[in-house]
Amino acid sequence: MGVTLGGAERRYPWVMKPTLDYEERELRRGPVVGIDEVGRGALAGPVMVGAVVLDELRDAPEGIADSKALSPSQRERLVPLIEQWASSVAVGVASAHEIDEWGLCTALAVATDRALSALSLAPRGALIDGPVNLLRASTAMVFGEAPPPMAWDELPVVTVVRGDQRCASISAAAIIAKVRRDALMRELHEKSPLYGWYTNKGYGSLEHRRSLARYGPTRWHRRSWALPELGSTIES
């Protein structure tokens, strides 16, 4: 079951304040979970999916917004406030190796399923950022071992375009996931400091791509992706 809400241009010259309008509607059926992912476009590191459950309407912490519009310190300040506000919070992870084995869409579905399974309160419905239901895994692009069975693929879902800007629980989920992933990429930078992960968080910055061309990939890279070839020249 799925419904998509929202649309139109994504970018605005101001930071939108997300509301609880979507949560208010979905709470009629029981606890609702806001879901968002981070790390989709990175060359290295995992994807992570945040899940934030509400079982009743409560005013969201001041400052919650699209995670990309917030500074790292603002996001980190919000994490304990979100944990106090929410009924339950969890993050699901799919590694770079799992992305290579299953493809990105299935890895995202598994990470979403893992996040939902880690919650201490089971939701009765979900609000997911974007036009696509992350729980709908496709096995068409699985290259290695089959992914684990999905426990939550029948959960009723409403997808919300620009949900990270418009929906408080989705915004909170993105913040939780981004803070967790950024911390992991800083840890991985200490183990493999040649790629600039402390600042680029595994995304394809010029420094990162030039290091791939010079040193090749690590075990934390997504090797099935079109990474720069060893010895290639990266101009920009």
Per-residue pLDDT tens digits for 20-37: 999 999 999 999 999 999
Residue 207 located in a structural domain: no
Residues of the domain holding 83: 2-190
Pull the structure tokens for residue 41: 């476009």
Residue 38, phi-psi category: left (phi > 0), alpha (psi -120 to 50), beta (remainder): beta
The single-letter code of the amino acid at 171 is S
115 in any annotated domain: yes
Judge whether 160 lies within some domain.
yes
Checking if the pLDDT of 127 tops 90, the result is yes
Tokens of 22: 């979507």
Model confidence over 179-200: pLDDT tens digits?
999 999 999 999 999 999 999 9
Residue 15 has pLDDT above 50, yes or no: yes
When divided into structural domains, the chain yields a total of 1
Q: Give pLDDT tens digits for 148-178.
A: 999 999 999 999 999 999 999 999 999 999 9
- State the pLDDT at residue 236: 75
Whether 215 is covered by a domain: the verdict is no
Q: What is the CATH number of the domain that holds 113?
A: 3.30.420.10
pLDDT for the residue 13: 46
Q: What is the pLDDT of residue 9?
A: 38
Give the up-direction half-sphere exposure of residue 170: CA atoms within 13 A in the CB hemisphere. Answer: 28
3-class SS at 35?
strand
Residue 81 lies in a domain: yes
209 lies in some domain: no
Question: Domain for residue 223, yes or no?
Answer: no
Whole-number pLDDT of residue 141: 60
The radius of gyration of the chain's CA atoms, rounded to the nearest angstrom, is: 18
pTM of the model: 0.91
H or E, element range at 177? helix 168-191
Place of tokens 């990309």: 68
According to the model, what pLDDT value does residue 67 have? 94
**Residue-level pLDDT at 16:** 79
Q: Residue 5 pLDDT > 90, yes or no?
A: no
